[in-house]
Chain A
Amino acid sequence: MTTFGKQALAGLRVLLVLTLITGVLYPAAVWAVSRLPGLQANAEATNTTLVAVTREGDGWFFPRPSAATLPASGGSNKGELNEDYNAVVAERRAEVAQREGVAEDLVPQDAVTASASGLDPHISDAYARLQVPRVARANGLSEDAVRALIIECTDGRGLGILGEPGVNVTALNRALESAR
């Protein structure tokens, strides 16, 4: 047999052995450890607030626009000089302004731009506060009570410096659900 053939056969044997270790035992071990209490809820995304989906109706806070096709994730991948997409953004701005009854220039950027994952659980504090009057009215709650929920559902930066703060919409809508 040629040297290359011999090397390929040796390679195949090495590949199979290392597949057992890195492709079977390794993920199995990580999976097994992730069953530990304290880790399992994370591992299985139990009652997760890590992702947000739109809940229809005036009684809910809206997350950011999404370009994802559920159950998959994804962004718009539109550049900032794309005229067609600029029109879509302008349309969203008009829609949000009308829905919340405010002027268009008060609509924050995160309300009209699609996130990278299409599942972004957070919105800016400004966008959350913009939605308060409508949500309070629809749920028969006072605006102060709703604002208190926003503060409760705001995630800060890790260690005070990692990432950016935001209001978790999924957590907020669930808090709303139990408050009304």
Chain B
Amino acid sequence: MSETVAGLLQVGLLIVALAVVYRPFGDYMARVYTSTKHSRVERAIYRTARVDPGSEQRWGTYAQAVIAFSFVGVVVLYVLQRIQSVLPFDFGRGNVSPGMAFNTAISFVTNTNWQSYVPESVMGHTTQMVGLTVQNFLSAAVGMAVAVALLRGFLRSQTDRLGNFWVDLTRGTIRILLPVAGLFAIVLVATGVVMSLKSGVTVDGQTVATAPVASQEAIKELGTNGGGVLNANSAHPFENPNGWSNLIEIFLILLIPVCLTRTFGTMVGNRKQGYVLLGVMGVLWTAMLAVIWTAEANGLRPLEGKETRFGIPSSALFANTTTATSTGAVNAMHDSFTGLGGGGTLLNMLFGEMTPGGVGTGLYSILVMAIIAMFLAGLMVGRTPEYLGKKLGRREVAAAAVSILAMPTVMLVGAGIAAILPATQGALNNPGSHGLSEILYAYASASNNNGSAFAGITVTNDWFQASLGVCMALGRFIPIIAVLCLAGSLAKQKRVPVTAGTLPTTGPLFATLLTGAIVLVAALTFIPALALGPIAEALL
């Protein structure tokens, strides 16, 4: 069977697998966030942590809880890395340096999982498990909580309450992430993924580092986190040993972002609303897969930075999926991709990561973009736009605009400054336009909370550690605050009845409008920068 045919059948199998779980898992997640009952474990958690699960929060309080929780997460993770040398299983790797610990703490708490460190020589197993794995779970649960709060904004009327952050966080972790991650961690071990507390294993006379990989690998993909337990990430045979594990990891990346569109449709009482979002996500995901795959298949040296067992199709599929979600795990080195193929992975991030986007973040990002699309449509016909029975007034559109504009602003300012700093030249691994692409990719990845890299760039100097850390924090929390503000303002409104003048948001017209909005916003913002980087390289 040819590589292409096998690759297409693999994509087909992936879609079938997602289709099978779409309804039950999407509806299950809807029940998790709408149920009024607390499980015994959850009640014990609320009791121990002394939080009141019965009290509902206003948007400002909800946002404050998200920020406060993330803040303590950063502090604890920073401290853990700085005292690593006294923790067990550190294998003499010592304390992580302050700049690196700062960057890594923000990175994992913001669901970015950008890695300025080489895990095999920097992170001990305790830090990986008690620090990094924990934030793999919790940052994902935070993303889902914010998405659910936004859905409540659409669902509720004439209230200032959006739910309870601690309950949403706990339920997402305990009822969704933990059981799926636990199951698939074992499945991954069965495919050959390593789960060892030793520091390394001897192979033909040489030592290759090992780690407790499987437990982190499962949540790394499921939570669209993407931080490798080992330096080569999912290209490392111990993280991703064969075609089976590769497909399972891609499936895990897509599972929650895809099924959340069903959760959305179920919760708003009209499943077609969810299908149309899924359709838009699917069209852009498929188009970008075609671009990356074709570009790599026609590269001058396509196997550079790719593993033999994955070849071109499985590498392109993984690269497209990891950048279209906010994952950032890689099974091939994007830095060695062609101008067009690498540019495709970059563009995926610059779409704002909503095709289908990260866990929770993808859903709220595309809902914000839907508001922008409806606003544009409203301007065309001169009518106040509505979406899901809520009027989109000044406040709603302003919040949506802030949310959409945060990433491009942070990314372009950061990359712009980095490009003119003299020290940057020495940090690059490739000359010319590809070198600029390395800078653009780094700031796009940080500002979008993706975490993948054109990894040749050396990002260990203080400027990169600090500026990328700030980009990750602003790229995460400005949209979250804007989205929660939007949710609060939607929840206060009365529901407006559907009239003949209401633009239906379940049909092809809306889908086209939304797709156009996603592509146009990215194109208008980024084409000048892309022209100097990947586009120039692709044309050379």
Contacts and interface: CB of A to CB of B under 8 A. Distances in A.
B372 interface: no
B335 A117 contact: no
Interface in A68-83: 68, 70-83
B330 interface: yes
A110 B310 CA distance: 13
B304 A113 contact: yes
Interface stretch (A94-102, A131-139, A140-148, A157-165): A157-165
B432 A14 contact: no
A152 interface: no
B434 interface: yes
- Most A-side CB within 10 Å, residue of B49, B67, B195: B195
A114 interface: yes
Interface residues of B, number: 117
Interface string B290-320: 0000000001111111111111011000000
Interface in B328-350: 330-333, 335-336, 338-339, 342
A52 B191 CA distance: 18
B435 to A, nearest CB: 9
A119 B336 contact: no
B1 interface: yes
Given A71-B120, A81-B540, A116-B330, A89 B301 contact: yes
Nearest to B11: A161
A80 B170 contact: no
A178 interface: no
A37 to B, nearest CB: 12
A78 B456 contact: yes
Contacts of B36: none
B361 to A, nearest CB: 19
A72 B121 CA distance: 7
B238 A50 contact: yes
Contacts of B236: 73, 117, 119
A138 to B, nearest CB: 17
Contacts of B219: 22
Given A18-B173, A53-B204, A163-B309, A78 B195 contact: no
Interface string B209-248: 1101011100100000000001110011110011110110
Given A30-B214, A34-B186, A118-B232, A170 B204 contact: yes
A103 interface: no
A13 B73 CA distance: 11
Contacts of A115: 235, 303, 305-308
Q: What bracket does the count of chain A residues touching chain B fall in? A: 35 or more
A76 B192 contact: no
A120 B454 CA distance: 20
B237 A119 contact: yes
Contact of A10 (B166, B186, B196, B313): B166
Contacts of B49: 10, 13-14, 16-17
A144 B190 CA distance: 35
* Most chain B beta-carbon contacts within 10 A, residue among A50, A55, A81: A50
Given A10-B50, A81-B432, A70 B333 contact: no
Contact of B237 (A4, A51, A70, A159): A51
A57 to B, nearest CB: 12
Given A10-B166, A21-B174, A120 B308 contact: yes
A155 B309 contact: yes
Which of A68, A80, A157 counts the most chain B CB atoms within 10 A? Answer: A80
B134 A81 contact: no
A92 B65 CA distance: 56
B64 A70 contact: no
B219 to A, nearest CB: 8
B3 A109 contact: no
Interface of A: 3-4, 7-8, 10-19, 21-24, 26-27, 29-31, 33-34, 38-39, 42-45, 48, 50-53, 55, 64, 68, 70-83, 89, 109-110, 113-124, 155, 157-164, 166, 170, 173
24 contacts: A10-B51, A13-B51, A14-B69, A22-B134, A26-B181, A34-B195, A42-B195, A43-B194, A50-B237, A53-B204, A73-B230, A75-B336, A76-B305, A78-B429, A78-B456, A79-B336, A82-B430, A82-B431, A115-B303, A116-B307, A155-B242, A159-B13, A160-B1, A164-B243
Listed from nearest, the 6 A-B pairs whose CB atoms lie closest are A163-B243, A162-B243, A77-B456, A164-B311, A116-B235, A158-B243
